[in-house]
Chains A and B, each alone.
Chain A
């Protein structure tokens, strides 16, 4: 799915995956809501093929960061660089069309539509036929629909949700909804996949399933993933590199091991005594 990366520019991970050049770079991002600073001067990058996590206590600004990347929030200061070019201010749908797909912390699916239709919406940006051809269902529109449908069926198989293909999403249990949302994001064949607390509110079994899917997506499709998660254990297992935020500031950045031994991070998570 990703462009071929020249041999020299990638590094291999311990489990044999390739991590390539910088895909996205956030430079000195500052985001304010009125007088409240949600994010203060944060910079970090995301490399092709890696799983990059953003962690931090509640209210640290993680979700705000994800919303900046996906265009839902516009930072007052700083630059967003994507695939080697500075990204001008964009609407969320324009960001999506650039190849950045996301899921939401509180699940944003189309409840009235079937699982299949929901996932098909993920491919809207990839469909080329125009309004007229679609209206009259000319040959090209039909061929296109069939081709996209095949891709979607593959994703449905991949995420093991064949049994609920025709079910309206509103009737599904929470864990499955999360999986359908992941499927819809995957259907867009994103260059960067953003996951906002993919494991929130799940039981242990569902969490294990989701972890496996995230790893499989990254492994099989080579999709670059940036995720936010509370569960430290999960993050440390999944991630190649981790950004740690606290009170809107970056307090740590590195491999899980580096972050785990960072004093500022330990303080933020365990608290420091003020004596």
Chain B
């Protein structure tokens, strides 16, 4: 199966790597994001490979905005069969333990991340259903060492696991699979990573790993793989052992 793939979010690393890989597999690709800073290179790269690529600006937590964006994708390319949605937990404000505002903002970060998964997957699933074939892949972004995004990465990841499994159960009969890709570090550590999780670009990077797993999951033969979590370890960081969930 080929057709149109939507890649929502993913910034400068994961999104482009996945988009280029999908184009390599014969898909036309639409990139959805709140803003594009360096998409020209990705678009050029995909067009040079003989596929079409469009960028559509959308507020990924807003149902109406994302719905309109999918409409634009359908007009410009066609109704999509693949959705890859990248969810970044994002940093939280550095507040003292007494700072109530920082606490509330922390929930806000988790809420936005989870809501973007809901909004994008709901809009995407509506299109995928028309084909009775589809792939939804939810990707969580790695947490940078030194930052404090780890404070939100655990609730976001655990929430997305519940979401992925529930959506998979609902959509299995329609030939649509829903899977989750996450950094292995997030599945192991509740605290800040001691080292940078993975180099951002190139072989062995998280982005390339996600692109590779995406290529695997969009294959027709992967129809029985749904509701699953796939954890990617950084190539240079050894093998983190997963905690029981």
Same complex for A and B? Answer no
- On A, residues with C-beta under 8 Å from B are none
- On B, residues with C-beta under 8 Å from A are none
